[in-house]
Chain A
Amino acid sequence: QVQLQESGPGLVKPSETLSLTCAVSGYSISSGYYWGWIRQPPGKGLEWIGSIYHSGSTYYNPSLKSRVTISVDTSKNQFSLKLSSVTAADTAVYYCARSDVTYVNFDYWGQGTLVTVSS
């Protein structure tokens, strides 16, 4: 059974870089599929952040592209998100998920992790 688990600091200071990791179990990232990040500010809707293929090819939300980096570590079967220059508007629950080649059919999700941006 495929499982995803997000991890990382729950509190980040404004202007710093948010860093999260998603550990995948039950499936080898190297075997295929795309691996993505989605976020949800408290009480608001979902926002597509970006996706990565095991080869390292990345696809980003144009509105976040200048601040986002998604990377993959196939040896550890995990992938990561870095979001730079964060503000309070980046406070959200961050989910990692698996999708097919369309980047929008997410069939397995992590439980989500709340990241708060505050000094």
Chain B
Amino acid sequence: QSALTQPASVSGSPGQSITISCTGTSSDVGSYNLVSWYQQHPGKAPKLMIYEVSKRPSGVSNRFSGSKSGNTASLTISGLQAEDEADYYCCSYAGSSGVFGGGTKLTVL
């Protein structure tokens, strides 16, 4: 299985909204509503931000939202804050296994 495709980098100014895409295939993203998103700060373990495409774990800000259309899932962060600067990874169920995206570096200008 191949890694899901994410843009290498995105950027935005404080207060703005940004969207990170995650493109897979009909064998993973397209077939299951089982896409999760992780935030990773340097030197830290990833943190679950979104699961099952659009659900937020307890404690995660409602500025984070997820969606999916066809083979592409998306993570939107509204009201950008400096603390949102991090790497973001999508992950999809792929039928008895999982697959991550290549990661996207978010820079808050």
Q: Report the minimum CB–CB distance from B42 to chain A (whole Å).
A: 11
Q: What residues of B have a CB within 8 angstroms of the CB of A103 in the complex? A: 93, 97-98
Complex formed: what's the CA distance from A95 to B93 in Å?
Answer: 18
State in angstroms the CA–CA spacing of A46 and B89 once bound together: 8
A45 in contact with B48 given A104-B92, A107-B57 (CB within 8 Å): no
Q: A39 to B62: give the CA distance in the assembly, Å.
A: 29
Chief secondary structure at chain B's binding surface = strand
- Confirm or deny: B36 has a beta carbon within 8 angstroms of a beta carbon on chain A: yes
Chain B residues 19 to 75 lying within 8 A of chain A, measured CB to CB, are 34-36, 38, 40, 45-48, 51-52, 57
Chain A nearest CB from B26 CB (Å) reads 17
Give Cα A104–Cα B45 distance, bound, in whole angstroms.
15
Residues of the B chain whose Cβ atoms lie less than 8 Å from the Cβ of A105:
34, 36, 48, 51-52
Pick the contact of B46: A36, A44, A50, A109 (CB < 8 A). A109
Q: Are A109 and B102 in contact (CB under 8 A)?
A: no
A95 touches B98 (CB 8 A): no
Chain B residues with CB under 8 Å of chain A are 1, 3, 34-36, 38, 40, 45-48, 51-52, 57, 89, 91-93, 96-103
